[in-house]
Chains A and B, each alone.
Chain A
Amino acid sequence: MAAKEITVDAALEKGEELTAFVESMLEPYDPSPKATVQVDVAIDEVFSNIVMYSGAKTVTVVANLDEPTSVFSLTFIDKGNPYNPLEKEDPDVSLPVEEREIGGLGIFLVKKTMDDVHYERKADQNYFTIYKKIK
């Protein structure tokens, strides 16, 4: 299928629009409920990260499904400050409750639930892509 794209303001409440855009695009391909939930969570994590840390005004999302392999890819593009969330150290998820901190947990979750993630800085823009086999 042809790639589809959407551009939204970099505002937290726009995350729902992105989720709806992706879900309506994937629905005809009958994705597994588990993959759908994981992609939804990844959208929330990646988008909120960009909104909170990049300083960009808008975010463009390009979605593509490779039908032969059922691998779905979603690229978040923004003109904000260079920001590679993958450089962040993974949180220690074995600490007891009083010592736990929440920073970095979102991207950690994305790395663990997606099949692959990729960051690139080109032409003064951040490109963050997640890949997930949807069935």
Chain B
Amino acid sequence: MKIEQTRDNSTLTLALEGRLDTITAPELEQVVNANLEGLTALIFDFAKLEYVSSAGLRVLLSAQKKMNKQGKMEVKNVCAEIMEVLDITGFSDILTIV
């Protein structure tokens, strides 16, 4: 998985490409944790993401909990296959999908 980071003042956009699974989820968690300081908006761009497994959901949940304390988090460009995973697991109610 590739993670493209774009920081604009207190907004960080993470564009993910590939698969967010057991192997790649820890990388994403590291990037999120390393950038949290001073962050008020965290945007995930899923345009090039192929799929998310539960390991990826765990990272998204933890990021959402952290951003609830200091700003907002949004997920954009979610494809139908990933949307189904978010719906089944109730994550579509937890996350802000734009």
Contact = CB atoms under 8 A, between A and B. Distances in A.
Contacts of A38: 81
Given A37-B81, A109-B88, A97 B53 contact: no
B64 A93 contact: no
* Interface residue tally on B, bucketed by range: 20 to 34
A24 interface: no
A44 B61 contact: no
A15 B21 contact: yes
A48 B55 contact: yes
Main secondary structure of the interface of B (DSSP, over half): helix
A13 B21 CA distance: 11
B53 A37 contact: no
Main secondary structure of the interface of A (DSSP, over half): helix
Interface in A67-124: 93-98, 100, 102, 105-106, 108-109, 112-113
A113 B51 contact: no
A37 B50 CA distance: 8
A51 B58 CA distance: 18
B23 A15 contact: yes
Contact of A100 (B22, B50, B94): B94
B23 A40 contact: no
Contact of B22 (A12, A93, A95, A96): A12
Contacts of B7: none
B94 A102 contact: no
A105 B68 contact: no
A108 B89 contact: yes
Contacts of A41: 21, 51-53, 85
A2 to B, nearest CB: 28
A16 B85 CA distance: 20
Contacts of B81: 33-34, 37-38
User: Which 7 residue pairs are nearest across A and B when measured between Cβ atoms?
Assistant: A93-B90, A106-B54, A44-B53, A102-B58, A48-B22, A105-B54, A44-B21
